[in-house]
């Protein structure tokens, strides 16, 4: 029986990071051919485009027409850093995402199926004194929180 992603070509942005390393390992285990793009070299043996995604040349080298999917994990994730450096955070998180989507569109990608990782309230619940976190699921509305942690509504 073939692996679920047998032969799929997947780009992982931020694949050298804490989550990215695990995502790449899981994708490879599922049979995918994985490419990484990151500012840091990868921990394992995976083809990598080294560079900053704010550089259009890096985006062009990473997002090619042979890809079947992109998992975008590269981001500035620190709330404190986003307060200290809002313009840089916007560039790294919003502008880079737009550039990746535009490049994928130009390369003929199908309509993307986006699941945002950072900046979403992952539905934290208090249950029996324990916190549990519901996984992101398509169709489940998210509730963004302000920097202070209060709900934005």
Examine residue 66 and state whether it is found in any structural domain, yes or no. yes
Examine residue 62 and state whether it is found in any structural domain, yes or no. yes
Q: Domain range holding 85?
A: 9-119
Q: What does the buried/exposed string (b/e) look like for 48-80 if buried means 16 or more CB atoms within 10 Å of the residue's CB?
A: bbeeebeeeebbeebbeeebebbbbbbbbbebe
Cβ neighbour number for residue 90 with a 10 Å cutoff: 13
Examine residue 17 and state whether it is found in any structural domain, yes or no. yes
Q: What is the pLDDT along the chain (153 residues), one digit of tens a residue?
A: 667 888 999 999 999 998 999 999 999 999 999 999 999 998 788 999 999 999 999 999 999 999 988 999 999 989 999 999 999 999 999 999 999 999 988 888 765 554 444 433 333 333 344 444 444 445 555 555 555 554 444
**Lateral strand order in the sheet of 69-72:** 48-50, 33-38, 9-13, 69-72
pTM > 0.85: yes or no: no
Examine residue 147 and state whether it is found in any structural domain, yes or no. no
Number of domains in the chain: 1
Examine residue 107 and state whether it is found in any structural domain, yes or no. yes
């Amino acid at each position: 029986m073939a692996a679920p992603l047998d032969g799929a070509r997947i780009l992982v942005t931020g694949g050298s990071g804490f989550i990215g390393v695990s995502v790449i390992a899981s994708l490879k285990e599922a049979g995918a051919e994985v490419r990484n793009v990151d500012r840091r070299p990868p921990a394992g043996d995976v083809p990598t485009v080294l560079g900053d995604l704010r550089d259009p040349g890096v985006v062009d080298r990473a997002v090619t027409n042979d890809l079947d999917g992109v998992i975008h994990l590269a981001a500035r994730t620190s709330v404190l850093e986003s307060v200290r450096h809002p313009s840089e955070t916007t560039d790294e998180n919003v502008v880079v995402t737009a550039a990746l989507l535009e490049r994928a569109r130009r390369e003929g990608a199908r309509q993307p199926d986006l699941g945002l990782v950072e900046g979403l309230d992952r539905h934290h619940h208090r249950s029996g004194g324990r916190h549990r976190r519901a996984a992101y699921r398509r169709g489940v509305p998210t509730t963004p929180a302000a920097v202070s942690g209060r709900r934005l509504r």
